[in-house]
Structure 1
Amino acid sequence: MSTNSQDQEIDLGQIGKKISDFSTKIINKFFDLLYFVKKRIIIIAVLFVIGVALAYLADGKKVYKHEIAVAPNFGSGEYLYKKIEEIDTKIREQDSVFFKNIGIVNYKEFLSIEIEPFPGVFSFINSDEKELNFKMIELMAEDGDIDKILKDPMTSINFYHHKISLKTKGMWKKEQLIVPILEYLNKNDYYNEQQKVYQNNLHEKLIKNDSLIKQIDQVILQLVTNTKTGANISISEASNIHELIEKKDNLIDDSNKLRIENIVIEKTIKEESSIVNMRDYVPILLNSKILFPILLIFIYLISFPIRKIFQKHKVRIEQTN
């Protein structure tokens, strides 16, 4: 028993000594590194400055994102997508004449444009062709996953709300980018003629509704006047008053909807909202102004142990030869 106890004490003592030696080595290495850095602090500082300068040169101007939420009217969804595709092609071709004609001056700093639908089945089935769209989704859903169908370009192009995403170098004003793009998208004689017809029809409906509302007011006023003068009102006349009031309320609701619709269809491609000059968040360690200096300093520091290993193996090879 005593022998086993002594052996265990020896083993524990050896383990403790090894841990102590290891800790000492770690501490020594840490202070060696501090001393090494201290001796070369000027070189490291210069490398840091060079890294930051290189990062600024590599980055150039910052890249900003811009977004436009639009609603294509009069069945112009496919037209909208084709126009965005055309602009994207002109960006890649750096077509100076095209961009000059549409009013974008700094076209070389216009990096990209793309469009995607706001995924929403409810806006799709509640559009003007809601019955047709609903039946189409119902039929297509029988053959596959509804989520895939809604993301399919053939389906999503018919959504009512879409997002146009643009990227540029540097910050741009709305008047420099978004306004010229929207003006270009709305230059189409075919859809502009439709827009005029739609607005004329709405205007005529509003005039007709206002006229009917005035006529109903006059009839109701006449019936109420008869009551005040003591004239007898039949049950059917009292019922008619209720129906007239209900009809008037319906006409007012219809007129309000028409006025809202008139605002929506004032452009073929209607801008709903827009945001300019957004930037993606980049984690600080992935920021080039931090990453470049750290990388340069790391290469410099790691070069010393690599050089020692190289020298050691060089001596070994020379001795064997």
Structure 2
Amino acid sequence: MTSNQEIDLFKIINKTFTSFFRFIKDNLLMMFFLTIIGAILGYFVSPVLKKYESRILVSPNYGTVDYLYNEIDLINSKIKDKDTVFLNSIGLTSPISKISIEPVNSVYQFVQESEKNYDLIKLFAEDGDINKVADDEKTSKNYRVHQINIITKKQTLNESNIDKLMHFLNENKHYNEVKKVLIKNNEARIISNGKTIEQINSVLAKFNTDVTDNKSPNLVYFNDNNQLNDLINTKNNLIKENESLILEKINSTNIIKKTSHFLNIQEESKTKLLVIVFPFLFLSIFLIIKMILKK
């Protein structure tokens, strides 16, 4: 680059900066005014655009996962159709923007629940990333806990609304009949396991007495054939099964069991940025208009 070219470049840069600062000086008052107006408008518009989210954690029981998801889809379609009669009948009396449902990722708990679940995850993970498998719909729909999300524009949802919604989700006649049968079967299983445990305890007690009195003709037989260990293992497995069945009974009082809920949580939205966005928008429009008029 020659010295003349360097001088010309310097003149261009200097002229550009001079024009820029002159423009700022000539329009400073208007730009300041637009910035203040934009910030004030953004401040007052932000609360109008606020959203609140209510979250309900539920456990679908008795094979009701697909039923639950379909019911949430139905409610969401009613929201889009603005069917206030239906929505009011199920407790959603407040203006609802959207309702959705998603599984709560608990792949480790899912694996621990049964050997079948472990084998299922292992099978799915053979050809892919375990994290993708955990989030896949085929896997995640089998998680115990799911989260219903309800979006409102105001802090209007209360306990009564949630109770009515849960009542609606739990009034399916078919699954309530399934519930009765399975509860009856589980109770019978608990009683049967308890009787077997008592029988095993009697055998073990007799064996301990015979060993203590040195009159057990079956001592060698037990040791050689591991029958004593088998009995103890069977007893422990039955105890674990009963604990699981009792816990399932507690968690399965409804076909859709609500475990907890959190109401009217203000979303972390971008509306707070409007106090910056609006001034920037107004200034941009002003600059564009000025450039057009200048031409």
Shorter-normalised TM-score: what interval? 0.7 to 0.9
Q: Deviations along 1:201-224, whole A, 9 cap, x unmatched?
A: 212211221222122212211221
Counterpart of 2:187 (choices 178, 203, 222) is 203
SS at match of 1:114: strand
Match of 2:75 in 1: 87
Counterpart of 1:227 (choices 183, 192, 211) is 211
Q: Return closer, same or farther for 1:270/1:306 CA change in 2, 3 Å cut-off.
A: same
**Is 1:191 matched up with 2:175?**
yes
Q: Deviations along 1:3-22, whole A, 9 cap, x unmatched?
A: xxxxxxxx722112102211
Aligned length: 278
Q: Deviations along 1:177-224, whole A, 9 cap, x unmatched?
A: 544332311112221222122122212211221222122212211221
CA distance in 2, matches of 1:102, 1:30: 62
SS at match of 1:230: coil
Counterpart of 2:246 (choices 249, 254, 259) is 259
**Is 1:40 matched up with 2:30?**
yes
Return the letter of the residue paired with 2:90. Answer: I
Match of 2:91 in 1: 103
Match of 2:20 in 1: 30
Return the letter of the residue paired with 2:34. Answer: I
RMSD, aligned α-carbons: 4.1
**Is 1:303 matched up with 2:289?**
yes
1:99, distance to aligned residue in structure 2 (A) = 3.0
1:230, distance to aligned residue in structure 2 (A) = 3.0
SS at match of 1:40: helix
SS at match of 2:52: strand
* Structure 2 unaligned blocks of 5 or more: 125-132
TM superposition score normalised by structure 1: 0.68
1:91, distance to aligned residue in structure 2 (A) = 1.6
Q: Return closer, same or farther for 1:292/1:280 CA change in 2, 3 Å cut-off.
A: same
Q: State which structure, 1 or 2, has the greater radius of gyration over its C-alpha atoms.
A: 1
Return the letter of the residue paired with 2:196. Answer: L
Q: Return closer, same or farther for 1:281/1:123 CA change in 2, 3 Å cut-off.
A: same
**Is 1:241 matched up with 2:228?**
yes
Counterpart of 2:267 (choices 279, 286, 310) is 279
Q: Return closer, same or farther for 1:202/1:226 CA change in 2, 3 Å cut-off.
A: same
Higher relative contact order (CA 8 A, sep 6+): 2
SS at match of 1:233: coil
**Is 1:114 matched up with 2:100?**
yes
Between 1:73-82 and 1:169-178, the stretch displaced more is 169-178
TM superposition score normalised by structure 2: 0.73
Q: Deviations along 1:258-310, whole A, 9 cap, x unmatched?
A: 223324432212346656536355397xx33322222223323443343343x
* Structure 1 unaligned blocks of 5 or more: 1-10, 139-146, 310-321
